[in-house]
């Protein structure tokens, strides 16, 4: 039989680091049965028959959060063979509170005191042997980060598990409480195992309803509990809490020697700066700016450009061999094409029909008609056509103009497009390889279109932004592992409390930067129902990983990778949360004081490279799996409805996407988005398909704007997209997609957490309407300021803006009522 060992500990105690070190790649991630809390299991390295289960990070075995219930149910019902309890040596008193409860379960416990390297560095001393005697269990010193002592801790847990002996708790409370507990134990049914009778007695004394559900029959102990409460003048739960800390304090006195009580640690010195009342927010803003700037605009862009233009584009030169020579040849060819376009434009303005010659000179045309070129040249010579070519810089501004004569046109028409394979070592991209493979098997045209223009263009457009996401996830994993993210929740508590939320509301939002689903689920830790609902409604305003491709696409396509676009998207989300919080808290549905926020701040430490990369990969792989399932199916559907339609009364494949079913649907809904500046059918459709999965926005653009067909260089890709957007309408589009209702999966999480159809639809409606109004204000007021444009939508936007300000600054009735009560 396999040995089961449970890994238990407080959040930020180093539990995840220890689990990763003990299991390595032998991990299995899923969900606990019936709930959405993540479950991690892994095979213990060096022990084929040992399974290590990583319990959720908890502070106690009380039934306040779903994580605590899940952990307690596992320990009581699954009965692992041993518990490896990891405690933070720098915060021993707080961590031992959970330890005292674990020792009451009758399961063998090994206490692993973590962060001993930090304890020793501070000059403090933990007397391990004395601590083991006081607790009545084995205690081992470890450093999960550096890997010291972890094998010994695991081996001791395995040895205890193999003995199959129940452990009896040695710690006791005051005589009056012990008397009450003994009386309750005597009333417990015989079905309760001997080693767990003390645990059940304590929980019944605390009036734990979840424990009562596990007992048949439930003993009546109310008179015993009430008598103790009256005698000690306190409620039963507080009595037990005080008893535990009294016991822990006596242990700390004997087992923990501090070098200097007044000496500040390195973490304390850092916190004096990063949690400073005036510096905290500017530092946070700078940190997040750097994170998004590097992820989207610099390092991330370099990697994404290679993915889009190389892997999912035409291909790339291996080790850049021949890349410079090909670039020069390509620039020269582009100059010749510019001359052709300029001369044809001048001829068309003179009334000459250029359709035939344009088709003949198109590099994509098979068997071009040379006679069409000759006929055009004769007609142009007779008319004396003279063209003017314009050269643009990277910002889209005219850099140079020069005349184009007939001779220039004729020379340019003879130029051949350079083949990158003729320069250096050329590796073809996936579209080219797939196309060659399909042509070699004489694939049907419709199937070739589905694969290339649907699947490759759609999914490829999304996967092309994976490098940027991985860079972002590395930053976030580092900030979480080093301890800074915990400080952010503490910092934001000061701000959030001013508009009715506690710092607990910011924790789901931090988690939501990876994915909105776990962010929404993290709201369970908020006890206050009103605060929890408001947190659920606003958490998805924070840009998640799935929205990053939209941000990157808009930044690259219409703002030439401007440095401010990506960071501004993050701060738009923060602003939306703040504004929503202030407005909603002033309504009757959400009024009331926020729940108190208490959080343990872990010591700063350098995270291991392995942990950061593992966290990055878990988030990134989750995104890639979604691209291979939901987004794949979505792109197939989008390709089908965009390429098929009713023509002359028959349902058939269309030559022009504007004749497809998707275009019909898009033109029907497009007027809704016209006040937002992007009432064009392709943009409107992309916003709707984004409800299935936010990545679909980019995938839909990839299909409808033909990214796969024009992937020769970035300028041509963005040029096709810019035909539907201006800079202002593009930012309006970005804002709407950042703030509107999230993807279907996140909607499902909201529905589960709200546990009410009414509240679910209220949340989705609020998010969508809020996004629409903000996006409209961005575009309409932006047009008023930049172009002096004024219309009905402008008036409505100004009214909405005034309403926003009124709701933000109108008096808070709850505060006025409390102020009156204080005066009285």
CATH number at residue 15: 3.40.50.300
Q: Which residues pair with 52 in a beta bridge?
A: 5, 42
Q: Is 14 annotated as a binding residue?
A: yes
Is residue 221 within 8 Å of 203, Cβ to Cβ?
A: no
Answer with the residue of higher pLDDT: 143 or 589. 143
Cα(102)–Cα(237) distance, rounded to whole angstroms? 17
Tell whether the model's pLDDT for residue 774 goes beyond 80.
Answer: yes
pLDDT at site 7: 94
**Nearest to 284, CA basis, from 567, 508, 18, 56:** 567
Cα(564)–Cα(553) distance, rounded to whole angstroms? 14
In a domain, 671, yes or no: yes
Tell whether the model's pLDDT for residue 152 goes beyond 90.
Answer: yes
- DSSP class of residue 397 equals -
Give pLDDT tens digits for 173-200: 889 899 999 999 898 888 888 888 888 9
In a domain, 452, yes or no: no
Place of tokens 């796969």: 708
**pLDDT > 90: what percent of the chain?**
16
Q: Is 287 annotated as a binding residue?
A: no
Strand 315-317 vs strand 125-126: parallel, antiparallel, or unpaired? unpaired
pLDDT at site 710: 39
Answer with the residue of higher pLDDT: 402 or 394. 402
Residue 317, SS3 per DSSP: strand
Q: Is 108 annotated as a binding residue?
A: no
User: Measured between alpha carbons, how far is residue 325 from residues 93, 330, 394, 423 in Å?
Assistant: 67, 9, 21, 7
**Nearest to 775, CA basis, from 721, 738, 744, 802:** 738
The DSSP H or E segment spanning 448 is helix 445-449
Cα(345)–Cα(409) distance, rounded to whole angstroms? 12
Are residues 623 and 730 both part of a single domain? yes
Structure tokens belonging to residue 478: 């580092």
Are residues 496 and 631 both part of a single domain? yes
Are residues 247 and 345 both part of a single domain? no
When mean pLDDT is compared over 80-94, 437-451, 516-530, the highest value belongs to 80-94
In a domain, 453, yes or no: no
Interval 383-407 mean pLDDT: 83
- Residue 110: pLDDT band with limits 50, 70, 90: very high
Q: Is 449 annotated as a binding residue?
A: no
- Residue 823: pLDDT band with limits 50, 70, 90: very low
Interval 450-464 mean pLDDT: 72
Are residues 643 and 757 both part of a single domain? yes
Are residues 553 and 593 both part of a single domain? yes
In a domain, 41, yes or no: yes
Q: Is 537 annotated as a binding residue?
A: no
CA 31 to chain centre: 18
Residue 229 is part of a domain; what is its CATH number?
A: 1.10.287.1770
Q: Is 602 annotated as a binding residue?
A: no
pLDDT at site 131: 92
Size of the chain, expressed as the number of residues it contains: 824
Give pLDDT tens digits for 303-329: 777 776 777 777 888 888 888 898 889
pLDDT at site 331: 86
Q: Is 572 annotated as a binding residue?
A: no
Q: Is 10 annotated as a binding residue?
A: yes
> What's the helix, strand, coil split of the chain in %, to 5?
65, 10, 30
- Residue 99: pLDDT band with limits 50, 70, 90: very high
In a domain, 743, yes or no: yes
Q: Is 235 annotated as a binding residue?
A: no
Q: Which residues pair with 110 in a beta bridge?
A: 84, 138
CA 269 to chain centre: 31
Q: Is 20 annotated as a binding residue?
A: yes
Are residues 419 and 503 both part of a single domain? no
pLDDT at site 714: 40
Tell whether the model's pLDDT for residue 769 goes beyond 90.
Answer: yes
Cα(290)–Cα(279) distance, rounded to whole angstroms? 17
Cα(265)–Cα(267) distance, rounded to whole angstroms? 5
- The residue from 396, 427, 458 where one domain ends is 427
Q: Which residues, 6+ apart, have CB-to-CB distance to 577 below 8 Å?
A: 509, 538, 541, 542
Q: Is 620 annotated as a binding residue?
A: no
Are residues 680 and 644 both part of a single domain? yes
Q: Is 136 annotated as a binding residue?
A: no
Q: Is 21 annotated as a binding residue?
A: yes
Tell whether the model's pLDDT for residue 536 goes beyond 90.
Answer: no
pLDDT at site 706: 64
Q: Is 35 annotated as a binding residue?
A: yes
DSSP secondary structure string for all residues of 633-696: HHHHHHHHHHHEEEETTEEEE-SSGGGSHHHHHHHHHHHHHGGGT---HHHHHHHHHTTT-TTH
CA 702 to chain centre: 23
When mean pLDDT is compared over 342-356, 459-473, 474-488, 531-545, the highest value belongs to 342-356
> Which of 230-244, 403-417, 649-663 is the least confident region?
649-663
* Radius of gyration, CA atoms only, the chain: 33
- Residue 783: pLDDT band with limits 50, 70, 90: very high
Give pLDDT tens digits for 726-748: 889 999 999 999 999 887 777 87
Domain span holding position 27: 3-163
Cα(65)–Cα(264) distance, rounded to whole angstroms? 34
Tally of structural domains, the chain: 4
pLDDT at site 8: 93
Q: Is 11 annotated as a binding residue?
A: yes
Is residue 215 within 8 Å of 189, Cβ to Cβ?
A: yes
**Is the C-alpha dihedral spanning 547, 553, 555, 558 positive or negative?**
negative
Cα(32)–Cα(28) distance, rounded to whole angstroms? 12
Are residues 140 and 193 both part of a single domain? no
In a domain, 618, yes or no: yes
> Which of 61-75, 123-137, 443-457, 488-502 is the least confident region?
488-502
Is residue 642 within 8 Å of 657, Cβ to Cβ?
A: yes
Q: Is 117 annotated as a binding residue?
A: yes
- The residue from 203, 224, 257 where one domain ends is 257
Are residues 103 and 250 both part of a single domain? no
Q: Is 36 annotated as a binding residue?
A: yes
Strand 3-9 vs strand 82-88: parallel, antiparallel, or unpaired? parallel
Q: Is 765 annotated as a binding residue?
A: no
- The residue from 257, 291, 315 where one domain ends is 257
Q: Is 95 annotated as a binding residue?
A: no
Interval 210-238 mean pLDDT: 85
Is residue 616 within 8 Å of 470, Cβ to Cβ?
A: yes
Is residue 554 within 8 Å of 734, Cβ to Cβ?
A: yes
**Nearest to 623, CA basis, from 498, 753, 472, 761:** 472
Query: In 606-657, at which residue ranges do the beta strands (DSSP E only) sit?
Result: 644-647, 650-653
Cα(325)–Cα(321) distance, rounded to whole angstroms? 9
Tell whether the model's pLDDT for residue 342 goes beyond 50.
Answer: yes
Tell whether the model's pLDDT for residue 454 goes beyond 90.
Answer: no
Alpha helix locations (H) across 678-756?
681-689, 696-704, 714-721, 727-739, 744-754
Tell whether the model's pLDDT for residue 685 goes beyond 60.
Answer: yes
Neighbour tally for 403: CB within 10 Å: 13
Q: Is 16 annotated as a binding residue?
A: yes
Q: Is 713 annotated as a binding residue?
A: no
Are residues 134 and 184 both part of a single domain? no
Q: Is 73 annotated as a binding residue?
A: no
Q: Is 401 annotated as a binding residue?
A: no
In a domain, 224, yes or no: yes
Are residues 204 and 140 both part of a single domain? no
pLDDT at site 366: 76
The DSSP H or E segment spanning 31 is strand 27-31
Tell whether the model's pLDDT for residue 796 goes beyond 90.
Answer: yes
Tell whether the model's pLDDT for residue 820 goes beyond 60.
Answer: no
- Residue 395: pLDDT band with limits 50, 70, 90: low
Is residue 289 within 8 Å of 154, Cβ to Cβ?
A: no
pLDDT at site 571: 87
Region of 528 (left: φ > 0; alpha: ψ -120 to 50; beta: rest) is beta
Interval 467-474 mean pLDDT: 80
Q: Mean pLDDT, the chain, as a whole number? A: 81
Are residues 481 and 616 both part of a single domain? yes
Q: Which residues, 6+ apart, have CB-to-CB distance to 438 below 8 Å?
A: 447, 448, 451, 452
Rounded to 5 degrees, φ, ψ at 57 are -65, 120
In a domain, 454, yes or no: no
pLDDT at site 465: 67
Strand 398-404 vs strand 387-392: parallel, antiparallel, or unpaired? antiparallel
Interval 363-368 mean pLDDT: 79
Is residue 511 within 8 Å of 519, Cβ to Cβ?
A: yes
- Residue 499: pLDDT band with limits 50, 70, 90: low
């Amino acid at each position: 039989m396999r040995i089961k060992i449970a890994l238990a500990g407080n959040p930020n105690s180093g539990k995840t680091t220890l689990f990763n070190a003990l299991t390595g790649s032998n991990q299995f991630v899923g969900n606990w049965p019936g709930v959405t809390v993540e479950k991690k299991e892994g095979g213990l390295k060096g022990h084929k028959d040992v399974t290590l289960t990583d319990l959720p990070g908890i502070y106690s075995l009380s039934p306040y959060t779903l994580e605590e219930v899940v952990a307690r149910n596992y320990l009581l019902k699954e009965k692992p063979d041993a518990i490896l309890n990891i405690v933070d040596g720098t915060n021993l008193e707080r961590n031992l509170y959970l330890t005292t409860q674990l020792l009451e379960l009758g399961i063998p416990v090994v206490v692993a005191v973590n962060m001993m390297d930090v304890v020793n560095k501070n000059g403090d001393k933990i007397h391990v042997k004395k601590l083991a005697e006081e607790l009545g269990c084995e205690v081992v010193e470890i450093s999960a980060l550096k890997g010291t002592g972890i094998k010994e801790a695991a081996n001791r847990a395995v040895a205890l598990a193999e003995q199959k002996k129940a452990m009896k708790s040695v710690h006791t409370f005051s005589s009056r409480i012990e008397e009450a507990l003994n009386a309750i134990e005597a009333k417990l049914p015989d079905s309760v195992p001997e080693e767990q009778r003390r645990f059940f007695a304590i929980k019944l004394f605390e009036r734990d309803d979840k424990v009562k559900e596990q007992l048949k029959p439930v003993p009546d102990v109310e008179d015993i509990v009430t008598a103790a409460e009256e005698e000690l003048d306190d409620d039963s739960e507080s009595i037990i809490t005080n008893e535990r800390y009294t016991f822990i304090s006596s242990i700390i006195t004997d087992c923990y020697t501090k070098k200097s009580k007044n000496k500040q640690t390195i973490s304390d010195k850092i916190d004096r700066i990063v949690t400073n009342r005036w510096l905290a927010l500017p530092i946070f803003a700078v940190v997040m700016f750097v994170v998004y700037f590097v992820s989207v605009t610099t390092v991330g862009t370099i990697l994404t450009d290679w993915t889009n233009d190389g892997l999912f584009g035409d291909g790339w030169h291996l080790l850049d061999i021949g890349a410079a020579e090909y670039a020069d040849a390509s620039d020269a060819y582009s100059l010749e094409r510019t001359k052709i376009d300029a001369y044809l434009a001048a001829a068309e303005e003179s009334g000459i029909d250029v359709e035939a010659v344009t088709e003949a000179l198109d590099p994509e045309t098979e068997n071009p008609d040379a006679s069409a070129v000759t006929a055009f040249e004769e007609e142009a010579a007779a008319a004396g056509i003279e063209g003017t070519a314009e050269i643009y810089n990277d910002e889209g501004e005219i850099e140079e103009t020069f005349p184009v004569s007939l001779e220039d046109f004729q020379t340019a028409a003879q130029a051949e497009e350079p083949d990158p394979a003729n320069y250096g070592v050329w590796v073809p991209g996936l579209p080219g390889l797939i196309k060659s493979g399909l042509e070699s098997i004489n694939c049907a045209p419709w199937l070739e279109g589905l694969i290339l223009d649907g699947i490759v263009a759609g999914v490829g457009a999304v996967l092309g932004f994976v490098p940027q996401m991985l860079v972002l996830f590395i930053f976030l994993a580092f900030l979480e592992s080093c301890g800074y993210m915990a400080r952010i929740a503490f910092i934001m508590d000061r701000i959030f409390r001013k508009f009715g939320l506690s710092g607990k509301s910011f924790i789901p939002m931090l988690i939501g930067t990876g994915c909105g689903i776990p962010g929404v689920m993290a709201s369970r830790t908020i006890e206050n129902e009103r605060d929890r609902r408001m947190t659920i409604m606003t958490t998805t305003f924070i840009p998640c990983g799935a929205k990053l491709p939209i941000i990157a696409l808009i930044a690259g396509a219409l703002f030439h990778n401007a440095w401010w676009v990506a960071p501004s998207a993050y701060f738009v989300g923060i602003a939306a949360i703040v504004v929503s919080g202030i407005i909603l808290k002033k309504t009757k549905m959400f009024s009331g004081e926020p729940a108190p926020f208490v959080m343990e701040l872990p010591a700063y430490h350098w995270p291991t490279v392995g942990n950061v990369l593992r966290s990055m990969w878990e988030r990134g792989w989750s995104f890639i799996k979604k691209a291979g399932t939901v987004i794949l199916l979505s792109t197939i559907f989008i390709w089908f409805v965009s390429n098929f339609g009713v023509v002359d009364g028959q349902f058939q494949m269309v030559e022009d996407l504007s004749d497809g079913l998707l275009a019909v649907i898009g033109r029907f809904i497009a007027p809704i988005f016209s006040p937002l500046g992007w009432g064009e059918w392709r943009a409107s459709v992309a916003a709707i398909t984004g409800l299935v999965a936010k990545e679909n926005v980019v995938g839909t653009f990839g299909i409808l704007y033909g990214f796969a067909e024009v992937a020769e260089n970035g300028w041509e890709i963005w040029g096709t997209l810019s035909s539907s957007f201006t800079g202002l309408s593009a930012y309006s589009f970005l804002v709407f997609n950042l703030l509107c209702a999230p993807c279907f999966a996140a909607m499902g999480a909201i529905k589960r957490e709200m546990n009410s159809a009414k509240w679910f639809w209220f949340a989705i409606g609020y998010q969508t309407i809020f996004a629409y109004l903000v996006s409209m204000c961005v575009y309409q007021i932006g047009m008023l300021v930049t172009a002096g444009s004024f219309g009905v939508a402008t008036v409505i936007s100004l009214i909405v803006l005034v309403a926003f300000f009124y709701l933000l600054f109108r008096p808070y009735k709850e505060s006025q009522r409390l102020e009156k009560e204080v005066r009285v």
